[in-house]
Amino acid sequence: MLLNWESPVTTAHRAKLAYIYVRQSTAGQVRQHQESTELQYRLVDRAAAFGWPKERIEVIDDDLGKSGTSSDGRGGFQRLIAEIGVGKAGLVLSLDASRLARNNHDWHQLLELCSLFGVLIADGERVYDPCAYHDRLLLGLSGIMSEAELHQIKLRLHQGERQKAARGELRVPLPAGLAYGRDGGIGFNPDEEVQARLFHLFGKFRELGSAKAVMRHFQQANLLLPVRPLAGPAPHDVVWRPASNARILQVLKNPAYAGAYVYGRRRRTAIGRRSGSQSGATEAVAIQDWPVCLKDAFPGYIDWEEFMANQQRLADNLNRYEADRHGVPRRGNALLQGIAICGRCSRRMGLRYSGPHGNYPVYVCRADQDQHGGQRCQEVRALAVDAAVESLLLEALTPDRLALAMAALGELENEARALEHQWSLKRERVRYEAERARRQYDAVEPENRLVARSLERVWEDKLRQVEQIEIEYESWRRQQPVSLAAADRAQILSLGEDLPKLWQAASTAERKQILRLVVKEVILDQRPASGQVWIRVIWQTGAVSEHKIRRNVNSYRDYADIATLESRVRNLVAGQKIDREIATALKAEGLLSARGRPFSAGEVHLLRKRWDIPTV
């Protein structure tokens, strides 16, 4: 190409280096579009035609296979910016503007630097001077068109992907429990151990109702979870990893296990993007807003109704009182934690612990105090209330005690059989892997010791794994026998007959779980009657029952049934009883002092003085 007298290239420009920027967006384009790559390399001849010697022309091709949507990760572009900034560049040459940048931020940064340092920009058609107004205007329009072109390309690709997904034909990554067949259809993973482990996971969540409880069960039973890491090219192999809360939740929240073909579970968001990240952050999309959700598209481990029930259960496990979610039972001695409601303001009551060692729970309603700085609604000591609710619960369960015992017995036997099945599959897998390693070792030529030694080490490692699994299995068998002895069965049935004993044997968390299966909420109010707590129990069946219990007070002014106590003391005095005899009689009749203790002779004496009752 011959230069005319209007060419902006000057001797000052030629005194600096000419940079040829070469880029293709993906590795596939580098392999398949070799003509385009070669055309960009031939720009060296164009720079030579402008008067640059070959030794002063530098090609930057570090960004082959990298997208131009951002400068992050593009070392070649960053190097070009640095060379311009230190004044080494006289000409920047690329096939078109889209090769240099696909976003306006990077493009205008390049234009600004070239304008400051007097660097020319050239493409396959002409040379531009960023210092000149009209050339800068053309370059700005070129960058805008380059970004708009990328937007249109993405839009067409996303629309095509969306339409294909709406037909259920888009090939999406599958979790470990599912696999593509030869015909392209989706079905269960053919590995029987993978299927059994996932069926066991859903069954345990159905029983325990908490992801962390399922995680603890898997950890105690030394059971691993199948995982398919989506790293590298497909197909992705299934690997076994220790159970964690995140992995359990991934299984429970994946609609594919319910046989649903879903597209668009997550979407990109500008909020929460990490510094230096090439891709934006993503956020979960609500189930009702999924763009594509084809139910019963392939076999599932659970049905859609159970999947939705699991999502609701996981949401309810979060402790959010403002959303009327009391969460899973927490640690602590208070039985009504999470389900106690204030009878005055209808808000959910919290907890605090009193006493010298902090072991006396108290139900507290402090919503007004926290929000407006006012007084607390009320405080109700928990021990007496919990005892009353326990009595009501055991009374309600008494007619079904035999059925409960039989159900518990069947649950224990089913649990033992399920764990035995999981162990048998686990042992079968390691034995197969050891046998496979032996066959590989036998297939190698004995003279090829380089390969034989490696295969021998692999075989030995597999044999050690078999031995380790057998040791763990025998340890598990000793700790948890598969079948229940006749004495154990009889003991379980006898515990079912004696519900109070069974209740006392359960842990606090287990008691809370049992209570929540029967009781929905308990409303507490100690205002209606002096010295009493009014209890309103709302059962899971929708039935409602009301009860009153006596509470301890500091003064006999707040004593419940003070008139009854005074009348009884007067009658006993009239019967020629002394203070010690009156205290014994009151104890026999179940009357307690204001602080909940049996009456003493001294307390009877003080009551007589209070009521002006003469002595015998």
Which residues, at least 6 apart from 595, have a Cβ–Cβ distance to it below 8 Å?
552, 553, 554
Identify the CA nearest to 454 among candidates 429, 437, 432.
437
Phi and psi at residue 380, to the nearest 5°: -125, 120
Q: Distance between CA atoms of 135 and 129, rounded to whole angstroms?
A: 6
Q: Distance between CA atoms of 123 and 138, rounded to whole angstroms?
A: 12
The H or E element that residue 240 is part of is strand 239-242
Which residues, at least 6 apart from 471, have a Cβ–Cβ distance to it below 8 Å?
none
Q: What are residue 294's DSSP bridge partners?
A: 261
Q: Distance between CA atoms of 455 and 437, rounded to whole angstroms?
A: 7
Q: Distance between CA atoms of 274 and 215, rounded to whole angstroms?
A: 30
- Token pair belonging to 7: 């060419």
Q: Distance between CA atoms of 90 and 76, rounded to whole angstroms?
A: 17
The verdict on whether 545 is a catalytic residue reads no
Phi-psi region for residue 445, left (φ > 0), alpha (ψ -120 to 50) or beta?
A: beta
Helices 192-208 & 211-220 angle (0-180, nearest 10) = 130
3-state SS assignment for residue 319: coil
- 127-128/120-122 β-pairing: antiparallel
Q: Is 615 exposed, middle or buried, given 0-12, 13-18 or 19+ CB atoms closer than 10 A? A: exposed
Identify the CA nearest to 362 among candidates 517, 511, 489, 533.
533
Identify the CA nearest to 171 among candidates 110, 237, 234.
234
Q: Taking the CB of residue 166, how many other CB atoms lie within 10 A of it?
A: 14
Amino acid identity of residue 601, one-letter, is A
Query: 81 near 60, Cβ under 8 Å?
Result: no
Query: 270 near 280, Cβ under 8 Å?
Result: yes
Q: Distance between CA atoms of 443 and 507, rounded to whole angstroms?
A: 57
Q: Where do runs of H (alpha helix) occur along 380-507?
A: 382-397, 401-443, 449-479, 486-497, 499-505
Catalytic residue, chosen from 7, 25, 507, 600, is 25
Identify the CA nearest to 60 among candidates 13, 107, 18, 106.
18
- Token pair belonging to 334: 């208070």
The residues carrying an active-site annotation are: 25
